Amino acid sequence: MKILIIGGGNMGLTYAQSFQRSHITSKEDMMILERSEQKAAELALKDIGTVYSRPEDCIESADLAIFAVKPQDSAALFENLKKLVDPQQVFLSIMAGIRIQAITEALGVRKVIRAMPNLPAQIGMGMTAFTSSDDVTRIELVMVQNLLNTTGKTVYVEKEEAIDAATAISGSGPAYVWFFMKSLMDAAREMGFSYSEAELLVSQTFRGAIELFSKSDLSCEQWIDKVCSRGGTTEAALASYRQNLVRDDIMAGAVAALARAVELGTGS
Protein backbone atom coordinates (compact mmCIF):
# COMPACT_ATOMS: atom_id res chain seq x y z
CA MET A 1 0.00 0.00 0.00
CA LYS A 2 1.45 3.36 -1.05
CA ILE A 3 1.04 6.12 1.51
CA LEU A 4 1.37 9.82 0.77
CA ILE A 5 1.71 12.20 3.70
CA ILE A 6 0.85 15.75 2.68
CA GLY A 7 2.63 18.23 4.97
CA GLY A 8 5.92 17.17 6.50
CA GLY A 9 5.69 19.30 9.67
CA ASN A 10 5.33 18.10 13.29
CA MET A 11 2.53 15.62 12.74
CA GLY A 12 3.45 14.52 9.21
CA LEU A 13 6.95 13.66 10.34
CA THR A 14 5.63 11.94 13.47
CA TYR A 15 3.43 9.73 11.30
CA ALA A 16 6.17 8.93 8.78
CA GLN A 17 8.61 7.99 11.55
CA SER A 18 6.04 5.95 13.50
CA PHE A 19 5.04 3.94 10.43
CA GLN A 20 8.67 3.27 9.62
CA ARG A 21 9.68 2.36 13.20
CA SER A 22 6.84 -0.15 13.42
CA HIS A 23 7.71 -1.66 9.98
CA ILE A 24 4.06 -1.28 8.98
CA THR A 25 5.16 0.20 5.68
CA SER A 26 8.42 0.20 3.75
CA LYS A 27 10.46 3.23 2.78
CA GLU A 28 9.66 2.45 -0.87
CA ASP A 29 5.93 2.79 -0.18
CA MET A 30 6.22 6.05 1.74
CA MET A 31 5.88 9.42 0.01
CA ILE A 32 5.88 12.87 1.58
CA LEU A 33 4.63 16.00 -0.15
CA GLU A 34 6.06 19.16 1.39
CA ARG A 35 5.86 22.66 -0.04
CA SER A 36 8.58 24.23 2.10
CA GLU A 37 11.91 23.74 0.32
CA GLN A 38 13.89 23.83 3.54
CA LYS A 39 11.67 21.23 5.25
CA ALA A 40 11.71 19.06 2.13
CA ALA A 41 15.53 19.05 2.18
CA GLU A 42 15.54 18.14 5.90
CA LEU A 43 13.02 15.36 5.30
CA ALA A 44 15.07 13.94 2.43
CA LEU A 45 18.06 13.64 4.79
CA LYS A 46 15.99 11.54 7.20
CA ASP A 47 15.62 8.84 4.56
CA ILE A 48 12.06 7.85 5.51
CA GLY A 49 10.57 7.92 2.03
CA THR A 50 10.53 9.87 -1.22
CA VAL A 51 9.97 13.58 -0.80
CA TYR A 52 7.99 15.51 -3.41
CA SER A 53 7.20 19.17 -3.89
CA ARG A 54 4.44 18.90 -6.53
CA PRO A 55 1.19 16.96 -5.98
CA GLU A 56 1.01 15.92 -9.65
CA ASP A 57 4.20 13.87 -9.14
CA CYS A 58 2.83 11.71 -6.31
CA ILE A 59 -0.90 11.85 -5.53
CA GLU A 60 -2.02 9.53 -8.31
CA SER A 61 0.04 6.60 -7.07
CA ALA A 62 -1.15 6.91 -3.44
CA ASP A 63 -3.61 4.35 -2.06
CA LEU A 64 -3.89 6.44 1.10
CA ALA A 65 -3.25 10.20 1.33
CA ILE A 66 -2.86 11.77 4.76
CA PHE A 67 -3.68 15.46 5.14
CA ALA A 68 -1.28 16.89 7.74
CA VAL A 69 -1.28 20.56 6.80
CA LYS A 70 -2.70 23.36 8.96
CA PRO A 71 -6.49 23.80 8.59
CA GLN A 72 -6.00 27.27 7.07
CA ASP A 73 -3.94 25.70 4.24
CA SER A 74 -6.60 23.12 3.39
CA ALA A 75 -8.59 25.19 0.86
CA ALA A 76 -5.50 25.89 -1.30
CA LEU A 77 -4.42 22.26 -1.02
CA PHE A 78 -7.85 20.94 -2.07
CA GLU A 79 -7.85 23.33 -5.03
CA ASN A 80 -4.51 21.85 -6.17
CA LEU A 81 -5.61 18.27 -5.62
CA LYS A 82 -9.16 18.14 -6.89
CA LYS A 83 -8.31 17.36 -10.52
CA LEU A 84 -5.71 14.77 -9.54
CA VAL A 85 -7.56 12.56 -7.06
CA ASP A 86 -9.50 9.38 -7.65
CA PRO A 87 -12.69 8.34 -5.79
CA GLN A 88 -11.13 4.93 -5.04
CA GLN A 89 -8.36 6.53 -2.97
CA VAL A 90 -8.67 6.70 0.80
CA PHE A 91 -8.01 10.02 2.58
CA LEU A 92 -7.09 10.44 6.22
CA SER A 93 -7.35 13.96 7.60
CA ILE A 94 -5.92 15.01 10.95
CA MET A 95 -6.70 18.70 10.37
CA ALA A 96 -8.52 20.21 13.33
CA GLY A 97 -12.03 21.41 12.57
CA ILE A 98 -12.23 20.38 8.89
CA ARG A 99 -15.38 18.27 8.49
CA ILE A 100 -15.58 15.11 6.40
CA GLN A 101 -18.28 16.67 4.25
CA ALA A 102 -16.05 19.67 3.50
CA ILE A 103 -13.38 17.26 2.20
CA THR A 104 -15.69 15.06 0.14
CA GLU A 105 -17.28 18.13 -1.45
CA ALA A 106 -14.02 20.01 -2.11
CA LEU A 107 -12.31 17.00 -3.68
CA GLY A 108 -15.24 15.05 -5.12
CA VAL A 109 -14.15 11.93 -3.23
CA ARG A 110 -16.06 9.52 -0.96
CA LYS A 111 -13.63 7.64 1.26
CA VAL A 112 -12.58 9.97 4.05
CA ILE A 113 -11.40 9.15 7.56
CA ARG A 114 -11.07 11.96 10.06
CA ALA A 115 -8.82 11.60 13.07
CA MET A 116 -7.82 13.74 16.02
CA PRO A 117 -4.44 12.74 17.43
CA ASN A 118 -2.47 14.49 20.16
CA LEU A 119 1.15 15.48 20.66
CA PRO A 120 2.34 12.42 22.67
CA ALA A 121 1.94 10.56 19.35
CA GLN A 122 5.54 11.74 18.86
CA ILE A 123 6.68 9.11 21.37
CA GLY A 124 4.11 6.42 20.60
CA MET A 125 1.95 7.52 23.57
CA GLY A 126 -0.69 9.40 21.60
CA MET A 127 -4.47 9.20 21.88
CA THR A 128 -6.40 9.36 18.62
CA ALA A 129 -10.16 9.43 18.08
CA PHE A 130 -11.27 8.71 14.52
CA THR A 131 -14.38 8.32 12.41
CA SER A 132 -15.13 7.80 8.75
CA SER A 133 -17.50 8.41 5.87
CA ASP A 134 -19.89 5.56 4.99
CA ASP A 135 -17.95 4.62 1.84
CA VAL A 136 -14.80 3.57 3.68
CA THR A 137 -14.77 -0.24 3.79
CA ARG A 138 -14.13 -2.25 6.94
CA ILE A 139 -10.77 -3.42 5.53
CA GLU A 140 -9.71 0.16 4.73
CA LEU A 141 -10.73 1.28 8.20
CA VAL A 142 -8.73 -1.51 9.88
CA MET A 143 -5.73 -0.69 7.70
CA VAL A 144 -5.84 2.97 8.78
CA GLN A 145 -6.45 2.03 12.42
CA ASN A 146 -3.33 -0.16 12.31
CA LEU A 147 -1.35 2.84 11.07
CA LEU A 148 -2.80 5.12 13.78
CA ASN A 149 -2.08 2.49 16.44
CA THR A 150 1.65 2.90 15.75
CA THR A 151 1.37 6.34 17.42
CA GLY A 152 -0.43 5.17 20.57
CA LYS A 153 -4.01 4.22 21.37
CA THR A 154 -7.08 4.78 19.21
CA VAL A 155 -10.83 4.90 19.62
CA TYR A 156 -13.36 4.73 16.78
CA VAL A 157 -16.35 7.06 17.23
CA GLU A 158 -19.59 6.67 15.29
CA LYS A 159 -20.55 10.33 15.18
CA GLU A 160 -18.33 13.06 13.81
CA GLU A 161 -19.36 15.44 16.64
CA ALA A 162 -17.41 13.16 18.99
CA ILE A 163 -14.24 14.23 17.16
CA ASP A 164 -14.86 17.80 18.40
CA ALA A 165 -15.37 16.43 21.92
CA ALA A 166 -12.18 14.36 21.65
CA THR A 167 -10.37 17.51 20.49
CA ALA A 168 -11.48 19.21 23.73
CA ILE A 169 -10.44 16.26 25.92
CA SER A 170 -7.46 14.40 24.45
CA GLY A 171 -6.39 16.72 21.62
CA SER A 172 -5.89 19.76 23.86
CA GLY A 173 -5.60 17.61 27.01
CA PRO A 174 -1.80 17.41 27.22
CA ALA A 175 -1.73 21.21 27.63
CA TYR A 176 -4.16 20.97 30.58
CA VAL A 177 -1.86 18.45 32.25
CA TRP A 178 1.18 20.67 31.66
CA PHE A 179 -0.77 23.62 33.06
CA PHE A 180 -1.44 21.69 36.29
CA MET A 181 2.18 20.53 36.40
CA LYS A 182 3.45 24.07 35.96
CA SER A 183 1.17 25.34 38.74
CA LEU A 184 2.49 22.66 41.11
CA MET A 185 6.08 23.48 40.06
CA ASP A 186 5.42 27.15 40.85
CA ALA A 187 4.19 26.12 44.32
CA ALA A 188 7.32 23.98 44.81
CA ARG A 189 9.53 26.94 43.82
CA GLU A 190 7.73 29.17 46.34
CA MET A 191 8.43 26.52 48.99
CA GLY A 192 12.16 26.83 48.31
CA PHE A 193 12.98 24.09 45.79
CA SER A 194 15.28 24.84 42.86
CA TYR A 195 13.82 24.74 39.35
CA SER A 196 15.25 21.28 38.61
CA GLU A 197 14.12 19.91 41.98
CA ALA A 198 10.61 21.27 41.39
CA GLU A 199 10.55 19.68 37.93
CA LEU A 200 11.70 16.33 39.31
CA LEU A 201 9.23 16.33 42.23
CA VAL A 202 6.29 17.19 40.00
CA SER A 203 7.08 15.12 36.89
CA GLN A 204 7.84 11.97 38.88
CA THR A 205 4.65 12.49 40.92
CA PHE A 206 2.57 12.72 37.75
CA ARG A 207 4.32 9.72 36.21
CA GLY A 208 3.85 7.62 39.36
CA ALA A 209 0.20 8.57 39.83
CA ILE A 210 -0.65 7.82 36.18
CA GLU A 211 1.21 4.47 36.20
CA LEU A 212 -0.50 3.46 39.44
CA PHE A 213 -3.89 4.42 38.03
CA SER A 214 -3.36 2.58 34.75
CA LYS A 215 -2.05 -0.59 36.43
CA SER A 216 -5.06 -0.99 38.76
CA ASP A 217 -8.85 -1.20 38.63
CA LEU A 218 -9.31 1.57 41.15
CA SER A 219 -11.04 4.82 40.19
CA CYS A 220 -9.52 8.28 40.75
CA GLU A 221 -11.80 8.75 43.80
CA GLN A 222 -10.63 5.47 45.31
CA TRP A 223 -6.97 6.42 44.84
CA ILE A 224 -7.66 9.86 46.34
CA ASP A 225 -9.18 8.12 49.38
CA LYS A 226 -5.98 6.09 49.75
CA VAL A 227 -3.81 9.22 49.93
CA CYS A 228 -6.16 11.18 52.18
CA SER A 229 -6.25 10.71 55.90
CA ARG A 230 -8.76 12.55 58.05
CA GLY A 231 -7.38 15.96 59.05
CA GLY A 232 -4.23 15.37 56.95
CA THR A 233 -2.34 17.41 54.37
CA THR A 234 -3.99 16.00 51.23
CA GLU A 235 -7.41 16.65 52.71
CA ALA A 236 -6.39 20.27 53.34
CA ALA A 237 -5.34 20.69 49.69
CA LEU A 238 -8.47 19.02 48.34
CA ALA A 239 -10.72 21.11 50.61
CA SER A 240 -9.06 24.21 49.14
CA TYR A 241 -9.57 22.91 45.57
CA ARG A 242 -13.24 22.19 46.31
CA GLN A 243 -13.82 25.56 47.92
CA ASN A 244 -12.25 27.25 44.90
CA LEU A 245 -14.32 25.16 42.48
CA VAL A 246 -11.21 23.93 40.69
CA ARG A 247 -13.07 20.92 39.29
CA ASP A 248 -15.74 23.21 37.79
CA ASP A 249 -13.00 25.39 36.29
CA ILE A 250 -11.31 22.39 34.67
CA MET A 251 -14.63 21.24 33.23
CA ALA A 252 -15.41 24.76 32.00
CA GLY A 253 -12.04 24.85 30.22
CA ALA A 254 -12.84 21.64 28.35
CA VAL A 255 -16.30 22.99 27.47
CA ALA A 256 -14.68 26.18 26.10
CA ALA A 257 -12.35 24.02 23.99
CA LEU A 258 -15.34 22.09 22.65
CA ALA A 259 -17.17 25.31 21.76
CA ARG A 260 -14.06 26.51 19.87
CA ALA A 261 -13.71 23.18 18.06
CA VAL A 262 -17.33 23.43 16.90
CA GLU A 263 -16.77 27.04 15.84
CA LEU A 264 -13.66 26.10 13.84
CA GLY A 265 -15.67 23.38 12.12
CA THR A 266 -18.14 25.97 10.87
CA GLY A 267 -15.29 28.11 9.54
CA SER A 268 -15.49 30.85 12.23
Judged by CB under 6 A, which of 5, 30, 33, 64 binds ligand NAP? 33
DSSP line for 6-64: E--SHHHHHHHHHHHHTTSS-GGGEEEE---HHHHHHHHHHTSSEEES-GGGTGGG-SE
Considering the complex, what minimum distance in angstroms separates the CB of residue 145 from ligand NAP?
Answer: 17
Number of residues that bind ligand NAP (CB under 6 A): 27
Considering the complex, what minimum distance in angstroms separates the CB of residue 69 from ligand NAP?
Answer: 4
Contact 162, 148 (CB under 8 A): no
Decide if residue 6 touches ligand NAP (CB under 6 A).
Answer: yes
**Looking only at residues 51 through 70 of this chain, which bind ligand NAP when binding is defined by CB under 6 A?**
68-70
Contact 156, 125 (CB under 8 A): no
At residue 51, φ and ψ (nearest 5 deg) are: -105, 130
Contact 27, 10 (CB under 8 A): no
Judged by CB under 6 A, which of 24, 44, 84, 96 binds ligand NAP? 96
Choices 6-14, 134-142, 153-161, 183-191 (CB under 6 A): range interacting with ligand NAP: 6-14
Judged by CB under 6 A, which of 62, 85, 90, 119 binds ligand NAP? 119
Task: Report the distance separating Cα 160 and Cα 145, nearest Å.
Answer: 16
Decide if residue 8 touches ligand NAP (CB under 6 A).
Answer: yes
Closest residue to ligand NAP, based on beta-carbon distance: 9
